[in-house]
Amino acid sequence: MFDGIDIVVLPVAGTAPLRALYVDVMGFEVVEEGPLQDPALWSRLWSLPLPPTESVLIGKPGSEGGWIRLVGVPGLPHPDPAGVPDRPGAYALDFYLRDPGATEDALAERGWTFVGDPVHYLLPGTEHPVRERMLDQTRSGLRHAFVQYREGRTRCVLGERPDLDVSEVNAVVFGTGDLAGARAFVEDVLGGHVYFSDRFEGPAIERLLGLAPGEGLDAFIARGPGSRNARLEFIRHLAPAAPRPPHAYPRVVAGCAMDDLEALAARLADGRHGPSTGIVETAEGPQLGLRSRYGACFHFWQR
């Protein structure tokens, strides 16, 4: 059963710039690092066009999931900019910030740029106010949604560790042209629980995402029984104004521990949800890779 994304894999040509972003400014801690053994195997599991050579695992000790693995892949092409969400694939990572202004100022001082000013809106279907701003994370071609942390309202490591200003990854957002199919996959194949399904729209959302007046996005968010981070979010991507080629490689691989890897492999064996590797034996135990037809790439292992 799906119970959150444990490790967010980010393939990049060089890990140093993102290590500086996440460790030096956003307060992640280096958990382990070193060369990757059997690069061909990991290239297969993560659907990479070139062999990865190094891994830097960073996290927020005390959190339940939402860690990041920076994977160095020499020769990987520079990613296309995220832009507006108008094609399949990984689009954004979400984080909660205790003091957004201070963190955003620190990032700006180091040369990171934002798509625009902060916006304020009500979470669809609720009266809960949201303060959000988008960072342009160009090294992976992703947006980072910085959301104001609200004590007792937003579950993350900040509720357990008052010394931290930035949470673990709270959600990974993927664009898909088949939102209904993605939801059926999450619920019926992964066993996830969809706890939010609504439409993001209105002037604040349009400014945040660079949408045209009147445009909006249908979305759903899934979690598991333990409500671990990071949650899995799918949005129905917009029709592009001009043809855009698909991304050349997965910008994010969602790494998830599963209760019954063999049962999951059986549900994926017919290929209806995209090509999978089947179960692969590694030094770390059995693993399974999936490049789903819903724009999301996954890496599963036995919990």
pLDDT in tens, 4-19: 999 999 999 999 999 9
What is the Cα 4 distance to its own chain's centre?
11
pTM of the model: 0.96
CATH numbers and ranges of domains, the chain: 7-302 (3.10.180.10)
The answer to whether the beta carbons of residues 73 and 48 sit under 8 Å apart is: yes
Count how many residues are written for the chain: 303
Mean model confidence pLDDT for the chain: 94
Segment 144-161 shows an average pLDDT of 91
pLDDT at 25 over 80: yes
List C-alpha distances in Å: 97 to 1, 23, 119, 166, 287. 29, 15, 14, 5, 33
Q: If pLDDT is split at 50, 70 and 90, which confidence band does 125 have?
A: confident
**Residue 247 CB partners (closer than 8 Å, separation 6+):** 79, 80, 87, 89, 90, 141
φ and ψ at 147, to 5 degrees? -115, 135
pLDDT at residue number 46 = 97
Residue pair 141/84 in contact by the 8 Å Cβ criterion: no
User: How much is the pLDDT for 63?
Assistant: 94
Sequence-separated (6 or more) residues with CB below 8 Å from residue 105: none
Q: What is the pLDDT at residue 177?
A: 95
What tokens were used for 133? 């701003």
Give pLDDT, residue 155.
Answer: 86
Token digits of residue 39: 């690069």
pLDDT digits (tens, 9 = 90+) for 62-87: 999 999 999 999 999 999 889 999 99
Average confidence (pLDDT) over 234-256: 89
Residue range 276-301: mean pLDDT, rounded: 96
pLDDT attached to residue 207: 95
pLDDT at residue 153, as a whole number: 75
